[in-house]
Amino acid sequence: MARLNSHARDLDRFWQGRILWDSPMSQFSTLKVGGPAEAIISVTNNQELNKLILWLKKHEIGWWIVGRGSNILVPDTGLAGVVIILEGEFRSIEKLMNSSITRKKEKVLIRAGAGCLLPKLVNYCISQNLSGLEFGVGIPGSIGGAIVMNAGAWGYEIGSLVDEVLLMNSNGDIFPEQGRNLGFFYRKWSLPHNMILLSATFSLTPGSKDVIKATCRKYQELRRRNQPVAEPSAGSFFKNPPADSAGRLIEKAGLKGFSVGGAKISEKHANFIVNTGKASAADILHLMQTVQQEVYKRFGIKLEPEVHILGGV
């Protein structure tokens, strides 16, 4: 892939909207670390995105889609290429009204854009008396990030609620795909790395507003009690190994409270790496590797990061 700088003037001429040049990715990551991306561009609809993807392909420039940055780690050296943020129409929510399509087995179909915040969709569901997505109330990601990660909590996963999605491939082609063909597994889907999720339709169940609200409150309370919600983090840093918990293993390895520079294993939940204020991405990566080595030494288990390290280690 070519670096962008030799095409920067072309891009400036070609793109009508705002471009953030050499801007730190720490502002787009809940871990609050990450060096500059060559360019950061917000797109507001499918046509704009298609145009941008085709231009980037023509010039062989790499690109990254970033949702709310709540499950990414960007190196201190930053990212070559263009970071794409989905805004405008990508943040919409709509109830599909055509009863012949929407009413299957007392399900209601809700379509949300990939850039819409998951907790915003949960609030919309509360307003419409729809149950299913309550588990997502405290997950601070976008619909795109949540589906790519098959986000889940309290025994539920978002993949099980996806009826259909709209996708764009790296040629800019747009096409629908059934939820059951997305190959959801624990914290991942099975589509190629450069597939972009544009929107998703969820199949939800009519329910009682009071019960839905009470469930959301319960989940929020559990988070406040057990997770360091006020400190910058990316949620659970490692995937749970089969039939075990990464947090339990890290705690048993004696690493709770252990820190490297400004990165620390949370005292509240050992699977959270928090930024105590001045962490660099290198601190977090160093801490990640220390945890992996110690847990492997003690238990023979290799912990795999759940967090996506953009640009590689």
Where do contacts with ligand FAD occur on this chain (CB under 6 A)? 30, 64-72, 86, 114, 139-142, 144-146, 148-149, 151-153, 196-197, 229, 233-235, 308
Amino acid at site 294: E
| CB of 156 vs ligand FAD, minimal distance in Å | 10
Closest to ligand FAD by CB, 159 or 295 = 159
Q: Which member of 134, 187, 223, 294 is catalytic?
A: 187
Closer CB to ligand FAD, residue 84 or residue 204? 84
List the beta bridge partners of residue 84: 41, 65
* Residue (202 or 294) nearer to ligand FAD, CB: 202
CB of 70 vs ligand FAD, minimal distance in Å: 3
* In the complex, least distance from residue 71 CB atom to ligand FAD, rounded to whole angstroms: 4
φ and ψ at residue 147, rounded to 5 degrees: -75, -40
Give catalytic status of residue 306 as yes or no: yes
Residue in the structure block whose two tokens are 């590797």: 289
Residues 6 or more apart whose Cβ sits within 8 Å of residue 188: 148, 149, 150
Nearest approach, Cβ of 297 to ligand FAD (angstroms)? 27
Active-site option among 233, 236, 266, 280:
236
* CB of 7 vs ligand FAD, minimal distance in Å: 22
Q: ∠ at Cα 71 (69, 75), nearest 5°? A: 75
C-beta of 129: minimal distance to ligand FAD in Å?
Answer: 24
Nearer to ligand FAD by Cβ, of 4 and 167: the residue is: 167
Cβ distance to ligand FAD smaller for residue 70 or 280: 70
- Rg (C-alpha) for the chain, rounded Å, is 20
Query: Residue 218 phi/psi, 5° resolution?
Result: -60, -45
How does DSSP assign 140-179, residue by residue?
A: --BHHHHHHTT-EETTEEGGGGEEEEEEE-TT--EEEEEG
Active site residue 199: no
Strand partners, 263: 260, 275
131 is catalytic: no
Pick 83 or 294: Cβ nearer ligand FAD: 83
- 206 φψ region: left (φ > 0), alpha (ψ -120 to 50), beta (else): beta
8 A C-beta contact, residue 33 and residue 284? yes
Nearest Cα residue to 80 out of 94, 59, 99, 100:
59
Q: Which residues are catalytic?
A: 187, 236, 306
